[in-house]
Structure 1
């Protein structure tokens, strides 16, 4: 009497069918589920094309009327929604520029001395370690390899300082695979410890090139904070500040979400002949009797050829002075507590 009216039985299947259309994952039949999923995907694709067409038409109309085109939508990414960091460097930061003139790398970056690098290993043998070091020697100019033997790292630091080396690189290996890099600025530090991952040697890169002996051009991207600026200057001090552009060599260290991606390329310029036909082709005959309807044009195309190696670095610690595990003072240490947010970056 006073209860709710029951719906007709014919309406219930229709509602269930609607739900299944919007939720293809609930359909148990694989063929029907894949067919509906493909249909929904195609509808989204058609709708996206329609929106792009309307946007292009609005931009064209605005240009014809002399108005400003509608603003393009910027997608939300982890990079452009990163948490606010007060240590981000600003172009008018006078304190930062004053510190650059007095830090440990100023003499090299002002070209008062030429960087000289000593590369060594940990005490354990590695299968890919020597191959990786050989490629580092081909990338970093004026770098020299010395076998570690049984010497302690402090003794190696003292020896390298006496011999006039400006930096020391230690390649650490685990299970016969390079897994860490230790970069020590000489004679007074700092010491940076990086985790090394995703190593790809030159021979494993498809269509790789062979580097020349020219000094490479160095490109550092996205080192925006005070800590990132310091790490960038440490890496910059490994390379001479007078690149030889004739060699067309480029070493890139790109920081993204606190992962530093290392790449080594060469520019290659190629001339390609393309035939461009005129709107009104001429019917004049050449000396051979053929019609010159197409006019050849020389276009210069530029492309990149990767030389290797390819790897990724992640900063673990930055320590004041040279390497000291017991009494060393750390500028920055990566801890698991710092990884509570995906939008917090330190470099």
Structure 2
């Protein structure tokens, strides 16, 4: 029965029996294999190398635009790009959030969470102004970013972000929105500046998008707040999560653990962020006296996913604007293992 495919068995009862036997045999084999590995390690014998499961991520097609960690050319370009003033703390981000005309009440719940997650963010009603008029008004009021949210069937499905005064502008498809009220055991957001994690933006375009997203946060985090905003790129989907890491145990132990976790948390590709957001991550650190301090992540919300549709030079202009990148699905998505960020 090992080589039989249950899907080819027409009889439902027989098909279920074969499937159950195969499942039990597979579990028994896995248990025996683990037992052999433990015995081999105890005797000092060589333990067989575990096979790495093939995924879309680790079988990604080679991309010539992937950036090495110490690429001097990319570092020189980024030192003088549109976002350098934010990363060098020369300019403090100031964000205006608005909506499409006649938004639903449900959209304001998401806006409330965004304003709690983004420092120095303000909401203004759209009324009848066009996006070009909004950009001009925001520029006059010294805003650095404009967020325009769109929705369908009372669910947010799009986000336009313009960096002022000279761009660039990007449009993201928004999906899987979950406001803080819908998150079980959520925490309360404090006014501390959050830390920032930009994870897995590996190509030239990915670096640019990562810096684009990173420009909306001040780069002087308040580590006492232990709040972290993560942008985790996986297969060109950008998962956005907002967490607080919590230490459980002796106060001195917690302080020592905080010093360990604070190092290297901020910056491009820094740290290992919580990509899924629905699992509770728990780590254990030991202090000087050997007692353990448990560290876990508490989600604050909101939770949503972004997928970039286009990136345009300058501020929003549908007639004369030049596009740096447009996602053309039929031309670009020729393989499930080809990614752009």
5+ residue gaps, structure 1, are 1-17, 273-296
Moved >6 Å (runs of 4+): none
Does the aligned pair in 2 maintain the 1:124–1:173 contact within 8 Å? no
Superposed displacement of residue 34, structure 1: 2.1
| Alignment-derived partner of residue 72 in structure 2 | 94
Q: 1:206 to 1:150 in 2, by over 3 A?
A: same
TM-score (norm 1): 0.82
Structure 2 counterpart of 1:266: 244
Which of 10, 30, 48 is the equivalent residue of 2:30? 48
The 5 A counterparts of 1:51-66 are 51-61=33-43, 64=44
**Correspondence for 1:332 among 319, 322, 325:** 325
Q: CA offset at residue 70 of structure 1?
A: 4.5
The offset of 1:52, in angstroms, is 2.6
Equivalent residue runs for 1:192-341 within 5 Å = 192-271=170-249, 299-336=292-329, 337-341=331-335
31-40 vs 124-133, greater mean Cα deviation: 31-40
Unpaired runs of 5+ in structure 2? Answer: 251-289
Higher relative contact order (CA 8 A, sep 6+): 2
Tell me if 1:103 matches 2:96: no
| Superposed CA offset, 1:236-275 (max 9, x none) | 1100100001111111111000000011111222238xxx
Query: Any idea what the Cα deviations from partners look like across 1:158-210, whole Å, max 9, x if unmatched?
Result: 11112211111111122322110011111111101000001011111111111
**Structure 1 residue corresponding to 2:14, chosen from 12, 19, 32:** 32
Residue 140 in 1 paired to residue 133 in 2? no
Find 2:57's aligned residue among 67, 72, 79.
79
Change (3 A) 1:85 1:29: closer
Q: Which residue of 2 aligns with 1:343?
A: 337
The answer on whether the counterparts of 2:177 and 2:302 sit within 8 Å (CA) in structure 1 is yes
Can you list the C-alpha shifts for 1:288-331, whole angstroms capped at 9, x where unaligned? xxxxxxxxx96432211111111000010000110001111000
Residue 285 of structure 1: aligned partner: none
TM-score by length of 2: 0.83
Aligned-partner SS, 1:22: coil
Alpha-carbon shift at residue 30 of structure 1 (Å): 3.5
RMSD of the TM alignment (CA)?
2.0
Between structure 1 and structure 2, the one with the greater Rg is 1
Shift of 1:29: 4.3
Cα pair 2:37 2:47 within 8 Å, conserved: no
* Equivalent residues of 1:127, 1:177 under 8 A apart: no
